Amino acid sequence: MAKLPETDATPLDDAARAGWLYYVGGKTQDQIAQELGVSRQRAQRLVSRAMAEGLIHVRLEHRVSGCLDLEAQLRARFGLQLARVTLSLGPGVDPVSSLAPTAAAEMERFLRQSEPLTMALGTGRTLRATVESLTRLDAEQHKIVSLIGNIAPDGSASYYDVIIRISDKVLAPHFPMPIPVVAENAKDRDLFLSLKPVQRVMGLAERAQVTFVGVGQMSDSAPLLMDGFITRAELEDMQARGAAGEIAARAFDSDGRYIEGGTNARVCAVEVAGGEGRSVIGIAAGADKTGAIAAALKGNLLNGLITDETTARALLS
């Protein structure tokens, strides 16, 4: 199993921790720099920022403690290996901009490991935003592989495919799946998946030590419908079959069980599920996705989750 990353921190969290270490822990700026792994000059700036942001009074006034508590509750409730909860941005604000930096930091922690690993990635808006938030690094010891086809119904490359984008950022060998996301029929799907290059990519994805995926809802605002991968009639058919959410275009029901038939019979993707020796981390938040996330957790399709405060509380309630 891939080594799980340590707790991540946002830039403001770094200031909060530095301020706490300085004013409560009594540590010097040199000691803080060493503990946080930054230069002395940055440690000094972080301490100053903690004061400027009003985080330091008699106690630490920072909501990160609430996020950490929610993370602990999520791990306990759902048996997760990893949980990260970001600060919510407020009602009506797209949570992707809050999730992406935290998810990118988690990816980077895996990619900075010296031991070679294979990382599999889904697709979608959240994954694309996450990859765009990555810092550039040299991770040529690792392999990056796609879980799903990357061709849209009109024959163009899928707009939210992330494999090429991440390869430019981290300089790692990458393995796309150059077939449709959803084939026209089950016979075509079987033909695509029988191709030896595709089989090699799928084999890598199935053996990946760590996997990052988005979680899509299967309501009337389903991303698969909005992005043109399935029709309204096909969505309604999957809803009638009990579809509650989807991961890598493969729909599952409210118990987190993948549905037989329907569009699932035409999806060109690896079936994702958490399990021994495999870290499967979902990146998702929002009221419209809460039911889908809950179902995925119930079915153990995920054993890691990056979400925001509002969604975490909804899942725990």
- pLDDT reported for residue 94: 87
Give the model's confidence band at 7: pLDDT under 50 very low, under 70 low, under 90 confident, else very high.
Answer: very low
Checking if the pLDDT of 182 tops 90, the result is yes
- pLDDT, one tens digit per residue, over 261-288 is 999 999 999 999 887 778 999 999 999 9
Query: In terms of DSSP bridges, do strands 304-308 and 143-146 run parallel, antiparallel, or are they unpaired?
Result: unpaired
State residue 304's pLDDT score: 97
pLDDT at 157: 79
Whether 233 has a pLDDT exceeding 50, the answer reads yes
Is the per-residue pLDDT at 61 higher than 80? no
Residue 2: pLDDT above 70?
no
pLDDT at 248 > cutoff 60: yes
Report the pLDDT averaged over residues 162-168: 89
- Mind listing the pLDDT tens digit for each residue in 79-134? 999 999 998 877 778 899 889 988 998 999 999 999 999 999 999 999 999 998 89
pLDDT at 63 over 70: no
- Across 93-97, 173-177, 231-235, least confident range: 93-97
Strand order in the sheet with 82-86: 82-86, 304-308, 279-283, 210-214, 118-121, 143-146, 174-175
Q: Where in the chain is the domain with CATH 1.10.10.10?
A: 1-62
Contact 183, 266 (CB under 8 A): yes
168 in Cβ contact with 176 (< 8 Å): no
Class of the CATH-defined domain 64-316: alpha beta
- What is the model's pLDDT at position 159? 78
Residues 14-41 have pLDDT tens digits of 888 888 788 767 789 899 898 888 998 9
Q: Which residues pair with 282 in a beta bridge?
A: 213, 305
Specify the domain boundaries for CATH 3.40.50.1360 within the chain.
64-316
Integer CA distances (angstroms), 211 to 163, 243, 280, 281, 284, in order: 13, 22, 5, 6, 14
Average pLDDT of the chain, as a whole number: 89
- pLDDT higher than 80, residue 6: no
User: What confidence score (pLDDT) does residue 250 get?
Assistant: 97
137-147 pLDDT, tens digit per residue, is 899 999 999 99
Alpha-carbon gap, residue 314 to 290, rounded angstroms: 7
Going by pLDDT thresholds of 50, 70 and 90, the confidence category of residue 221 is very high
Higher-confidence residue of 4 and 10: namely 10
Nearest to 283, CA basis, from 160, 176, 177: 160
pLDDT given at position 242:
98
- Rounded to whole angstroms, how far apart are CA atoms 6 and 181? 34
- Mean of the pLDDT values across residues 178-206? 96
| CATH code, residues 1-62 | 1.10.10.10
Top pLDDT among 275 and 136 is at: 136
Q: Which residue has the higher pLDDT, 297 or 3?
A: 297
Residue 304 dihedral angles phi and psi, to the nearest 5°: -150, 150
Give helix then strand counts, H and E, for the chain.
13, 10
